[in-house]
């Protein structure tokens, strides 16, 4: 006689083996030869993310691999942006058993980034993304203010006042929050 049995809800990308035996009132007979097969890959679930460390120009993110992965994971696609119109994508090879750290470098200081991380399996399926927000640290300003005037006026014969005006540094070069300006006034003696 022949028969058919269907097992629903198998996990994607898992190797299953089956063998069969016949049972009668006196017991179980010998088992058949084992037949093994792997279920097809599916889209990976979103990985877990944790900020490990952040500096002015880079951030290290810990990725916990999806479990079950639902396929042979080969790459993590990382999209990061400081606004939706300014984004970059980088790929990182999947490493390690349970977790791995990735280092995203060449970031701008004092900037909040959104990182979207998706796992990609060996058949090219892109998994569900996970999001984490990271703010890089401040760094030293990259540019000096532009001096526009420096006027010296006499209050009397022995006292002078200096009035200085300037054009501020563009916000892309401040790299943090301005606390104050330092003015260096130097006496130069010439004959």
Taking residues 158-171, report their average pLDDT.
86
Taking residues 158-178, report their average pLDDT.
85
**pLDDT digit string, tens, across residues 24-77:** 999 999 999 999 999 999 999 999 999 999 999 999 999 999 988 999 999 999
* Residue 187 or residue 94, greater confidence: 94
**Residue 114 vs residues 16, 33, 106, 107, 130: alpha-carbon distances, Å:** 39, 53, 15, 12, 10
With a pLDDT cut of 90, the percent of the chain lying above it is: 62
Longest Cα pair distance anywhere in the chain, in angstroms? Answer: 124
Structure tokens that stand for 155 in this block: 């209050």
Q: What is the pTM of this model?
A: 0.75
Note the pLDDT of residue 154.
83
Residue 87 pLDDT exceeds 80: yes
Report whether 71 contacts 125 (CB < 8 A): yes
**Reading across the β-sheet that carries 73-83, which strands appear in turn?**
86-93, 73-83, 112-121, 130-135
C-alpha to C-alpha distance for 32 and 26, rounded to whole angstroms: 18
């Amino acid at each position: 006689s022949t028969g058919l049995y269907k097992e629903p809800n198998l996990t994607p990308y898992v190797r299953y083996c089956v063998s069969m035996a016949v049972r009668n009132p006196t017991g179980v007979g010998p088992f058949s030869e084992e037949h093994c097969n792997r279920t097809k890959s599916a889209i990976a679930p979103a990985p877990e993310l944790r900020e490990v460390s952040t500096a002015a120009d880079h951030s290290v993110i810990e990725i916990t691999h999806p479990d079950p992965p639902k396929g042979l994971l080969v790459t993590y696609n990382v999209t990061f942006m400081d606004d939706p119109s300014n984004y970059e994508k980088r790929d990182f090879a999947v490493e390690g058993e349970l977790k791995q750290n990735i280092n995203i470098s060449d970031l701008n200081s004092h900037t909040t980034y959104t990182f979207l991380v998706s796992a990609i399996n060996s058949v090219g399926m892109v998994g569900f993304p996970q999001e984490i927000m990271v703010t890089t640290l401040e760094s030293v300003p990259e540019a000096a203010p532009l001096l526009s005037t420096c006027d010296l006026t006499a209050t009397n014969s022995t006292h002078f006042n200096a009035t200085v005006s300037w054009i501020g540094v563009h916000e892309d070069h401040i790299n943090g929050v301005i606390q104050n300006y330092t003015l260096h006034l130097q006496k130069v003696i010439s004959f």
